[in-house]
Structure 1
Amino acid sequence: MSIDLSLLGSKFGKYRTQLQESLLDVASSTGIDVARLAQIEGGKAEPTGDEVLILADHYRCDFKFFISNEQVAPFEQIETLYRAHGSDFSKADRRAVQDFLYLCETEDFLMRELDRAPGSFAFLPSGKYFKGHAEGAAIRLRSAMGHADNAVPRDVYAEFRSVGVHVFRRKLGNSNISGLLIAHPVAGNCALVNYSEDIYRQRFSAAHEMAHAIFDADQGASVSFDQPEGADLVEVRANRFASCYLMPPAFLSKLPDPHGWSDSDAITWANKLRVNCSALAIALREAKLVNQATYARISRLRVPREDKVDPELPQSLNIAQRKRKEELLERGLSDHYVALCFEAHSSGVISQGRLAEALLCSQVELLELATLYGRKLNGH
């Protein structure tokens, strides 16, 4: 099959534009001369096989997207996202989003190769009461996860992954962006949670993006903000789902009367539910369990940072291990994903070189990661 050089070049050019990179930026990263890149993007030169692979790696995209006329990358979804919210994403954030999509696609590939098909969850809403949609879906998903009314979800990331959503936490520079939901044409629903946010806010954001996966995946891509403008019913529904999933009204109704809580009591209940006090106050108000004065008082309280629990940073880690894993989570490398990559390598599914690529690291760093996770590399 002959390659349409004009189409191929435009794909490279559009990806570079999405990432706000110059030809010099790409040349510096790939080692391909600026003039050569310009010829390729202009459809005036056919890239070698190695050049296609190098550029595909730079753009964190399956090389087949560039040489095929078939849509196998979430380019259009991202283009729509940036068209609507481009000013909210810095150059570094755009690279972070591209890395995130690469991790989702790699995770999907490895799970299929290892025969690790996840479960699924579907909820068909009826009527036009968006908060009712959220409440019903939360009840159904909690039931599917085996949660009793008084159960607090411990690891929401693992729970949402178990029903087929690729969940990654990744540091973004824009602290007002809470998360993204992108319907990847290959990997399916992909949720990015901003790791720059408070630990408990990240939990809420993950549940918020899960709601978008349930109700809004057909939109292709969406961005959620910590402080959204206006009263968007889609965002209201996602927030209501997150609240009901993490703090079910049936559980809140059995709590001691919040009007009698001391500040310490409110902080203790928020920490037991693994939410921030502001989220708890809103949930109590929605359940009509507090007056305005009590709502305002609880909202102003803060759970001490050192008391908050992150399920992907267990207390068993020593200080050095915790710091290193925090750095990896900033890049999107969760324990779940890292373990999957090492298992694929030990099973012969991917080579050591491909393992390093999947973990976004060099061969030297790969050895350090293997030690940190107690893994062995084939031949070592």
Structure 2
Amino acid sequence: MIDKLDLCTKALALRKELGEDTTSPIDIFSLAHTITQLTLVFYPMGDHISGMCIKNDGNPVIAINSAMSVGRQRFSMAHELYHLYYDENKQSTVCAIKIGTGNDTEKAADQFASYFLMPPVALAEAIKKIHGMSTDNLGIKEIVKLEQYFRVSRQALLCRLIEDNKLTPQQADQFRQGVIRSAVNLGYDDSLYKPLPEDKQYKTYGYYIQQADELLQKDLVSTGKYEQLLLTAFRSDLVYGDEFEGGELND
């Protein structure tokens, strides 16, 4: 049995622990970079896996399926944070791509992720601001505004609105098609609904990169070995530096 109140409490507590308030939309990947000794890997994992978490004796690795939409990747990151901080049963977890499926732990992680990205008070206030005092059901304009505000996928938002009795499953079904077109027609950029650019779908960030640099600075590895470590982590940009040329001039 999933204890939603407990999951909401955990989600809000972790936001505060990581330096965020309990109401604002968050940049979850920037937040992840503040987690000590976390390595974050982006890698296209096909059509069935959303991500994975390996606790690795205090040097955790979270991998995100970069072939999914950016909105879905953000939800997957929040899902994996549940496994990292609150799942005491497993040292490693591979997670399915469909929200709301799997065992109770997977469903709890999905519920946690929803609360983490869309705290209940924040969602209620956003709906009130967007929808006003109207007694009509939420329409496509409100749906798009909400998913853009919280930077979540259509799937994640609809699951939450059904859970909160803001939509029936039948009402939600009408919003599952033409997702990108519905956003673009309302003037929004479509990047939330698409995967990362191909040159960013293979990347490693965080502790692994820091450790490789530390080994080099302490002369514990050669420059060649350091570059090999970076290339293994899909960081050719750090080896060859092409991505950074002229960047300072454009800042």
What TM-score does the superposition give when structure 1 sets the normalisation length?
Answer: 0.52
The one-letter code of the counterpart of 1:239 is D
The residue number in structure 2 matching 1:353 is 224
Aligned mate of 1:202, from 73, 82, 88: 73
In 2, Cα distance between equivalents of 1:307 and 1:229: 25
- 1:338 and 1:181, CA in 2 relative to 1: closer, same or farther beyond 3 A? closer
- 1:301 and 1:236, CA in 2 relative to 1: closer, same or farther beyond 3 A? farther
Equivalent residues of 1:277, 1:299 under 8 A apart: yes
> After superposition, where does 1:48-59 map in structure 2 within 5 Å?
none
In 2, Cα distance between equivalents of 1:302 and 1:195: 19
**How far apart are 1:157 and its partner, in Å?**
2.2
Q: 3-state SS of the aligned residue for 1:191?
A: strand
> After superposition, where does 1:1-380 map in structure 2 within 5 Å?
129-154=2-27, 156-164=28-36, 165-172=38-45, 174-185=46-57, 188-227=59-98, 231-254=102-125, 255-256=127-128, 257=131, 259-300=136-177, 302-303=179-180, 306-308=189-191, 326-327=198-199, 329-334=200-205, 336=206, 340=210, 344=214, 347-348=217-218, 350-360=221-231, 369-374=240-245
- 1:163 and 1:288, CA in 2 relative to 1: closer, same or farther beyond 3 A? same
In 2, Cα distance between equivalents of 1:219 and 1:341: 25
In 2, Cα distance between equivalents of 1:228 and 1:150: 23
**How far apart are 1:152 and its partner, in Å?**
0.7
Taking only the aligned residue pairs, the percentage that are identical comes to 20
Q: 3-state SS of the aligned residue for 2:31?
A: helix
The one-letter code of the counterpart of 2:62 is A
- 1:234 and 1:279, CA in 2 relative to 1: closer, same or farther beyond 3 A? same
Q: Deviations over 1:18-49 (max 9, x none)?
A: xxxxxxxxxxxxxxxxxxxxxxxxxxxxxxxx
C-alpha RMSD of matched pairs (Å)? 3.3
Q: 3-state SS of the aligned residue for 1:290?
A: coil
Equivalent residues of 1:130, 1:233 under 8 A apart: no
Q: Which runs of 5+ in 1 are unaligned?
A: 1-127, 314-322, 376-380
The one-letter code of the counterpart of 2:25 is V
Q: 3-state SS of the aligned residue for 2:40?
A: strand
Q: 3-state SS of the aligned residue for 1:236?
A: helix
In 2, Cα distance between equivalents of 1:157 and 1:225: 20
In 2, Cα distance between equivalents of 1:249 and 1:333: 32
The residue number in structure 2 matching 1:78 is none
Equivalent residues of 2:39, 2:204 under 8 A apart: no
Q: Deviations over 1:35-75 (max 9, x none)?
A: xxxxxxxxxxxxxxxxxxxxxxxxxxxxxxxxxxxxxxxxx
- 1:370 and 1:351, CA in 2 relative to 1: closer, same or farther beyond 3 A? farther
The one-letter code of the counterpart of 1:275 is V
More contact order relative to length (CA 8 Å, sep ≥ 6): 2
- 1:237 and 1:196, CA in 2 relative to 1: closer, same or farther beyond 3 A? same
Q: 3-state SS of the aligned residue for 1:197?
A: coil
In 2, Cα distance between equivalents of 1:301 and 1:141: 34
**How far apart are 1:263 and its partner, in Å?**
1.5
In 1, Cα distance between equivalents of 2:66 and 2:150: 20
Count of residues in Structure 1 that have an aligned counterpart in Structure 2? 227
Q: 3-state SS of the aligned residue for 1:163?
A: coil
**How far apart are 1:231 and its partner, in Å?**
4.8
In 1, Cα distance between equivalents of 2:242 and 2:66: 24
The one-letter code of the counterpart of 2:225 is R
- 1:301 and 1:137, CA in 2 relative to 1: closer, same or farther beyond 3 A? farther
Q: 3-state SS of the aligned residue for 2:146?
A: helix
**How far apart are 1:374 and its partner, in Å?**
4.7
In 2, Cα distance between equivalents of 1:188 and 1:236: 25
Q: 3-state SS of the aligned residue for 1:253?
A: helix
**How far apart are 1:292 and its partner, in Å?**
3.9
**How far apart are 1:250 and its partner, in Å?**
0.8
In 2, Cα distance between equivalents of 1:307 and 1:131: 32
- 1:273 and 1:308, CA in 2 relative to 1: closer, same or farther beyond 3 A? farther
**How far apart are 1:234 and its partner, in Å?**
0.3
The residue number in structure 2 matching 1:56 is none
